[in-house]
Amino acid sequence: MKTVSDFGISQRWPAQYPDRIQLYSTPTPNGVKVSIALEEMGLSYEPHFINIGENETFTPEFESLNPNGKIPAIVDPAGPGGEPIGLFESGAILIYLAEKTNSFIPRDAAGRYEVMEWIFFQMASVGPMFGQVGFFHKFAGRDFEDKRPRDRYVAESKRLLGVLEGRLSGREWIVGSEYTIADISLLGWVRNLVGFYGAGDLVEYGALQHVPAWLERCLARPAVQRGLEIPKRP
């Protein structure tokens, strides 16, 4: 039977606890989705810090698990049928973990697909757009004289926040009355947009009512507070 040590990524980041889920990540908005989920679900796991600043995701060992060279990725030694499984893409990992534990996702089929809608909404729209605002507002793009690219992404991010504001009107969580992986997928990106990126004024975050209240509820959860700091930076 294949073991964790048979995965090429373990040659660079060896498992001290091969019976646990191996998490290869960085505490970015995408990375913390999985660490938060693991904390919320109470699963045993071993985190490995991947230094994206040093391009460690583009090493042969990392790309043997994720050929796209992005965090996060996991290896679960107890995958389907008891066989180890390696997974990349944060949305896919969230769905896998929720189904593995039968938690943080509705049990009825319609509810499950509703959760997936919002995860795909985050993956396809919120992450890419908020990330571009970060680039053009906080990082190298801020020095570009032409502000049209920044303004384009700011306008789209404002629109997406409006979608979330409407969705959260009259409800506590993104799907139904329960906190789910849909909330987990989104919270890190909203937090980063107004916190680390410092773009709250640009996107008129202060004019919103339901999104800030929802984010406060998310951040008050102990598992979220822990997951936001995992893996620890050196």
Residue 217 to residue 228: CA distance in whole angstroms: 15
For residue 81, the model assigns a pLDDT of: 94
Structure-block tokens of residue 13: 């980041």
For residue 105, the model assigns a pLDDT of: 97
Count of CB atoms within 10 A of residue 212's CB?
17
Nearest alpha-carbon partner for 187 in 213, 151, 168, 215: 215
Q: Looking at domain 109-224, which CATH architecture does it have? A: Up-down Bundle (1.20)
- CA 101 to each of CA 43, 105, 178: distance values in angstroms, whole numbers, following the listed order: 9, 9, 16
- CATH number for region 4-103: 3.40.30.10
Structure-block tokens of residue 82: 């008891």
Q: Which amino acid is at 127?
A: G
**Residue spans of the chain under pLDDT 70:** none
Tell me whether the CATH fold assigned to 4-103 matches the one assigned to 109-224. Answer: no
Q: What is the pTM of this model?
A: 0.96
Strand 21-25 vs strand 45-49: parallel, antiparallel, or unpaired? parallel
For residue 108, the model assigns a pLDDT of: 95
Strand 73-76 vs strand 45-49: parallel, antiparallel, or unpaired? unpaired
Which tens digit of pLDDT belongs to each residue from 133-185? 999 999 989 999 999 999 999 999 999 999 999 999 999 999 989 999 999 99
Domain boundaries, the chain: 4-103, 109-224
For residue 176, the model assigns a pLDDT of: 81
For residue 35, the model assigns a pLDDT of: 98
Length of the chain: 234
Question: For the residues of the chain, what is the DSSP string, one character each?
Answer: ---GGGSGGGGTS--SSTTSEEEEE-SSTTHHHHHHHHHHHT--EEEEE--GGGTGGGSHHHHTT-TT--S-EEEETT-GGG--EEEESHHHHHHHHHHHHT-SS-SSHHHHHHHHHHHHHIIIIIHHHHHHHHHHHTSGGGG-S--HHHHHHHHHHHHHHHHHHHHHTT-SSSSTTS--HHHHHHHHHHHHHHTTS--TTTTTGGG-SHHHHHHHHHHTSHHHHHHTT-SPP-
